[in-house]
A and B are shown apart, each in its own frame.
Chain A
Amino acid sequence: MSLLDVENLRVSFDTRQGVVEAVRGISFSLGQERLGIVGESGSGKSMTGRAILRLIRPPGRVGADRIALEGEELQSLSERQMRKVRGRRISMVMQDPKFSLNPVMTVGEQIMEAYLLHARDSRRAARRKALEMLEAVDIRDPERVMKAYPHEVSGGMGQRIMIAMMLIPDPRILIADEPTSALDVSVQRTVLSIMDGLVRERGMGLIFISHDLNLVSEFCDRVLIMYAGRIVETCDAARLHEARHPYTRGLLNSLPRLDQPRGRLEVLARDPAWAEGR
């Protein structure tokens, strides 16, 4: 059985200019694998991640024929039941640790809180778990980091703390929405390989949302390419370079490459037919 099944997911926003459809009927399923969702800004990739966790607020509207987590329909759950899903069964790492960590709470308190919210356990055990988790994300001096406030750690470390916090309740699925876009190139890969290692070790499903084709092809098994709220192509990450859809090809060709100097970069000529999912 797959971990997550999404059928005909739609997200729309009522605005003064009319209805804006951010996601227009996408379907996919996730097993114990690493699934990448790639697209440009406005393609609906982040909205997809948020819609699964029911994190879209009015005026946004979400509809789907089915959003099933291990066979259980999420849309029929109450808000109270949904809170048990978030974190405990599906958790999410967002782009910038500066905005997702609580600035007035120590790192240790926050990680312990994440654990105690979902587990009946003593503070002492929570503390031990938190330290273990910080070690698991390669933080060298976990005792010191436990006592630190978020502004006292670097961006890369902040994102590792986020990953620790999100994985401590042992969820089945991790949604990572541009987890390294706010980080330097040199630390991006370290953070991703840590995340990758943990996800594999625990047999979790990963949804990795990013605009970076290379990064996704490196850290995923399968890739969905989104354009204007639809999935235009699905392919094996290892075979991304063989992608057929002109949009995917255009994205790949518009990247400057060190190994293949070119006078001019290819510019994407957008075809209105792509938006219709053709």
Chain B
Amino acid sequence: MLEVDGLNVWFGEGATHVDAVQGARFFVDEGESFGLVGESGSGKSTILRAITGLAPGWSGRVEVDGRTVYRDRRDRRFHKTVQMVFQDPYASLHPRHSVDRVLSETLWLHGMDRIDSRVPQLLEDVGLGPKFRFRYPHQLSGGQRQRVAIARALAGEPRLLLLDEPTSALDVSVQAEILNLLADLRDERGLTYVMVSHDLSVVGHLCQRLAVMQSGRIVEMMEVDQLRRGQADHPYTRALIAASTSGGRTSRAAE
């Protein structure tokens, strides 16, 4: 579904040139969920941004669904196949557009018909009732906003969703709801996910395979089963695992 090879991404030119990603290589099969993990500045979100065209300075090969993605143009078919959900639902929705307008506009851009009946359907798909249709973002909680952002991403019926820290701005109980929603949508629609997160337990919950990134490079690729057993080769991965399981003073004691 997604193939990335020799991907370099940079920002700035000359003296301000920064290499954000160097030689990234991975593939994601159809229906699979793949995680990108690392600390801030490691380049994990930048990879997603390069694929969608939000980071224009990149080289290498990116293929989506067998079709090469070019740096400067993405056709309608690309956008119908790939959609992205951003970290901060407070920033990713237009504050003065109602939910109805956000979704209708997106549907129209995807060339959909019967927009009036699709909007309530989309809302229902993400677990929001019809009463949310004419609300504005400030009238919604963080979790509800993220549901609207997911509905917007689903509007064009994509097959690949790029999830950039979709739950890190949310409370843990709301995070659980959104992770369950993402799992349900994946099962119903056979979606492929690429999920960026700094939280290993979130990636472990939703994904089957993951890549660990450090300062712009992928340092380790592993299966989630390996992760659970703590079988990591790279010292950085081991440090990450230690950081996210030592919080388990409660969990260890519970066993």
Residues on the A chain within 8 Å of B245, using CB? 258-259
* Minimal Cβ-Cβ distance residue in A for B247: A214
Establish whether residues B250 and A251, one from each chain, have CB atoms under 8 Å apart when the complex forms: no
Cα distance, A171 to B49, chains bound together (Å): 46
* Minimal Cβ-Cβ distance residue in B for A243: B250
Residue A264 CB within 8 A of the other chain: yes
Residue B91 CB within 8 A of the other chain: no
Cα distance, A176 to B190, chains bound together (Å): 44
Residue B243 CB within 8 A of the other chain: yes
- With contacts defined as CB atoms under 8 Å apart, how many contacts are there between chain A and chain B in the complex? 98
Q: Mostly helix, strand, loop or mixed at chain B's interface? A: helix
Cα distance, A119 to B182, chains bound together (Å): 56
Indicate whether A186 sits within 8 Å of B251 (C-beta atoms), given known contacts A254-B173, A267-B173: no
Most buried by A among B171, B172, B249: B172
Residues on the A chain within 8 Å of B244, using CB? 185, 258
Q: Mostly helix, strand, loop or mixed at chain A's interface? A: loop
Residue A144 CB within 8 A of the other chain: no
Residues on the B chain within 8 Å of A211, using CB? 171-172
Establish whether residues B249 and A238, one from each chain, have CB atoms under 8 Å apart when the complex forms: yes
CB < 8 Å neighbour of B248 from A184, A187, A214: A214
* Minimal Cβ-Cβ distance residue in A for B175: A254
Establish whether residues B39 and A258, one from each chain, have CB atoms under 8 Å apart when the complex forms: no
* Minimal Cβ-Cβ distance residue in B for A247: B173
Residues on the B chain within 8 Å of A264, using CB? 180, 183
* Minimal Cβ-Cβ distance residue in B for A260: B251
Establish whether residues B173 and A217, one from each chain, have CB atoms under 8 Å apart when the complex forms: no
Cα distance, A240 to B205, chains bound together (Å): 23
* Minimal Cβ-Cβ distance residue in B for A240: B250
Establish whether residues B250 and A241, one from each chain, have CB atoms under 8 Å apart when the complex forms: yes
Interchain nearest-CB distance for B157 vs A (Å):
24
Residue B254 CB within 8 A of the other chain: yes
Establish whether residues A185 and B243, one from each chain, have CB atoms under 8 Å apart when the complex forms: yes
Q: Give per-residue flags for A181-206: 1 if the beta carbon is below 8 A from chain B beta carbons, else 0.
A: 00011111100000000000000000
Most buried by B among A41, A211, A250, A259: A259
Establish whether residues A251 and B246, one from each chain, have CB atoms under 8 Å apart when the complex forms: no
Residue A125 CB within 8 A of the other chain: no
Residue A117 CB within 8 A of the other chain: no
* Minimal Cβ-Cβ distance residue in B for A253: B176
Residue B98 CB within 8 A of the other chain: no
Establish whether residues A258 and B204, one from each chain, have CB atoms under 8 Å apart when the complex forms: yes
CB < 8 Å neighbour of B39 from A186, A213, A268: A186
Establish whether residues A265 and B180, one from each chain, have CB atoms under 8 Å apart when the complex forms: yes
Establish whether residues B248 and A254, one from each chain, have CB atoms under 8 Å apart when the complex forms: no
Cα distance, A149 to B179, chains bound together (Å): 40
Stretch touching chain A among B101-109, B114-122, B195-203: B195-203
Residue A59 CB within 8 A of the other chain: no
Most buried by B among A40, A241, A256, A260: A256
Residues on the B chain within 8 Å of A186, using CB? 39, 239-240, 243
Identify 4 new A-B residue pairs, CB closer than 8 A, beyond the known A218-B246, A258-B204, A259-B228: A185-B243, A189-B243, A259-B245, A267-B177
Nearest 10 Cβ contacts at the A-B interface: A214-B247, A256-B205, A254-B176, A265-B176, A268-B173, A184-B39, A40-B171, A241-B254, A241-B250, A256-B201
Residues of B bordering A, CB below 8 Å? 39-40, 142, 171-177, 179-180, 183, 198-202, 204-205, 227-228, 239-241, 243-251, 253-254
